[in-house]
Amino acid sequence: MSAWLRRLVATGHQRSEEDYELLPSNSAGSPASAFNKNRRRSARSLLYACLHLFTVRRIAVALVSIPLLMVVGVLWSGVPPSYEDIRLFERNLPQHNVSAAVVNARTGNEPKYLRFPGHLWGHGLNNILQEILLMSQLAYLSNRSYVFEDYVWSKLPFPYTIYDFALRPTRMPINAFISGPSAGGPMSGPQAVSSEFWDSVCPKEKRRIITTEGAPPSKGTDGSVLMDWWVQRLAKVEDSCVEIEQDSLTDPIFDKYLFGGKEILSLWPGLSASPILTDFMWSPLVHSAIFRNFPILQPYSAKVLYDSSTSGVLPGLVAVHLRRGDFKRHCARLAGWNSEYMGLNQFPSLPDKFDPTPYINTTREDEKTEYYFEHCLPTTEQIVERLRKVREDHPSLSRVYLLTNGWGWWLNGLKDALREDGWADATSSLDIQLDAAQSYVGMAVDMAIAEKAEVFVGNGFSSLSSNVVMLRMAKGLEPASNRFL
């Protein structure tokens, strides 16, 4: 056995200077002393090299260059459009006639307005859209003009902010996303007006502010009871310019508990018959993206893309909403909260139910988490299996469109798996071609496609899926055409 091997296997052996006897020595001293001198010399050499490399000048250049490179990186994604053409469209709506409003006020025919200055902002489109629809419904039932606002992502005093290392508009006109009564479109009742017009006809001294004092709490209150209370409250007010003082971020009159629970279902009979939903439309900008991507959607006739009736569906297409990203964390929270599907995803007529009851108040935490993730953040294999079952129930389906914020590499693997499972084609949000203006309304484009699909498979915990189901139900599509993961 060699000396090296004996040293490695010897019991209780402690290192000594002899352990380094094979190291080369450049001095007459001991090997350990030579080693230490070499190590100190190497450290000094490294220090001198660093001082030579990181001179004051080079450090200064780096400090200036890094921010410049970051700015270039942000600008590389492009400067967002201003949407001034859409703002001009809003200003020119026929009801935005200040002179006529002044004349009406003098003759005692002054219109009545309802504004919610504390509206939701800084959230995704679908949380804000939910609120817009109920607020405009309240204005409609109160025989008042709803005052619509910009979609506000940030309240910075600049036109753009930075999000995901790219510029993003701080605010956008709501008509970039939607049309119809909630955005100033024609309706059988007082037409909605913009906040800009409101400021012209309702100076501060004319505004009547109503607080939420005495209002029933949104949590646990039946939706119809809550809506009726506010209608009766507003019926007692004769003032033309009325604001409801509420903060949608901290104390909203329509909160997440209403949208997330069955209490909202009692509003459906009135809401589904209201022009707020029956005349709802996506914006011309959104429709332009749909028309641009007709080769991907493969309609049997271009007329289908223009048709908003029940016959205007894309036959053979199943649209699937796959929320990824932050949902990995969110789905775990949903399991911890014992959450159910969003309120409008709990229509009794919908075929797919979610029941976490067997896993509540038990020690089966792993099984509960697995159950939630299967429906909230399913794996590729689970998605393929789920769509296979949906196809068995709807044999006419042959193509898949994936509404998703998932990564491209993951989507490619999923699309390959779907094709291997017999689907003729699989496309996704990443395949849609959008110009600069359309790209910031891409989520609405996805939703418009899902609304037109023959079958929609949603994520029951998502407000996007909830809104798509609502629009499909209002359109008169069969409840059985709305499925969940």
What DSSP string runs through 73-98?
Answer: HHHHT-PPP--HHHHHHHHTSTT--H
Let me know whether 33 and 122 are in one domain.
Answer: no
Tell me which of 246, 277, 308 is where a domain ends. 277
Tokens of 364: 């089966």
Report yes or no on 258 lying in a domain: yes
Let me know whether 26 and 110 are in one domain.
Answer: no
Let me know whether 43 and 107 are in one domain.
Answer: no
Confidence check: pLDDT of 43 > 80? no
Report yes or no on 192 lying in a domain: yes
Let me know whether 247 and 100 are in one domain.
Answer: yes
Let me know whether 64 and 213 are in one domain.
Answer: no
Let me know whether 308 and 457 are in one domain.
Answer: yes
Identify the band that residue 266 occupies on the pLDDT scale cut at 50, 70 and 90: very high
Let me know whether 217 and 305 are in one domain.
Answer: no
Per-residue confidence (pLDDT) for residue 102, from 0 to 100: 74
Question: What phi and psi values does residue 282 have, to the nearest 5 degrees?
Answer: -80, 160
Calculated CA dihedral for residues 401, 341, 350, 456, nearest 10 degrees: -10
Report yes or no on 2 lying in a domain: no
Let me know whether 36 and 123 are in one domain.
Answer: no
Average pLDDT, integer, range 309-327: 89
Per-residue confidence (pLDDT) for residue 54, from 0 to 100: 64
Per-residue confidence (pLDDT) for residue 362, from 0 to 100: 73
Tell me which of 249, 277, 305 is where a domain ends. 277
State how far the Cα of 149 lies from the Cα of 87, in Å rounded to an integer: 11
Report yes or no on 170 lying in a domain: yes
Let me know whether 309 and 347 are in one domain.
Answer: yes
Least confident segment among 56-65, 225-234, 342-351, 440-449: 56-65
Q: Assign residue 384 the CATH number of its domain.
A: 3.40.50.11350
Per-residue confidence (pLDDT) for residue 39, from 0 to 100: 54
Tokens of 94: 């026929």
Confidence check: pLDDT of 24 > 90? no
Residue at 397: amino acid letter: L
Identify the band that residue 312 occupies on the pLDDT scale cut at 50, 70 and 90: confident
How would you classify the pairing of strands 160-163 and 166-169?
antiparallel
Identify the band that residue 300 occupies on the pLDDT scale cut at 50, 70 and 90: confident
Let me know whether 219 and 366 are in one domain.
Answer: no
Let me know whether 207 and 271 are in one domain.
Answer: yes
How would you classify the pairing of strands 425-428 and 399-404?
parallel
Number of structural domains (the chain) is: 3
Per-residue confidence (pLDDT) for residue 161, from 0 to 100: 86
Let me know whether 200 and 287 are in one domain.
Answer: no
State how far the Cα of 88 lies from the Cα of 93, in Å rounded to an integer: 9
Full domain range(s) for residue 69:
20-73
Tell me which of 240, 261, 277 is where a domain ends. 277
Report yes or no on 10 lying in a domain: no
Neighbour-count burial for 64-82, b at 16+ CB within 10 Å, e otherwise: eeeeeeeeeeeeeeeebbe
Segment (H or E) for 305: helix 303-306
Report yes or no on 299 lying in a domain: yes
Per-residue confidence (pLDDT) for residue 37, from 0 to 100: 54
Tokens of 183: 């955005």
Report yes or no on 1 lying in a domain: no
Identify the band that residue 49 occupies on the pLDDT scale cut at 50, 70 and 90: low
Report yes or no on 13 lying in a domain: no
Per-residue confidence (pLDDT) for residue 164, from 0 to 100: 73
Average pLDDT, integer, range 366-385: 95
Per-residue confidence (pLDDT) for residue 222, from 0 to 100: 94
| Global pTM exceeds 0.95 | no
Confidence check: pLDDT of 413 > 80? yes
pLDDT tens per residue, range 276-297: 999 999 999 999 999 999 999 9
State how far the Cα of 272 lies from the Cα of 161, in Å rounded to an integer: 37
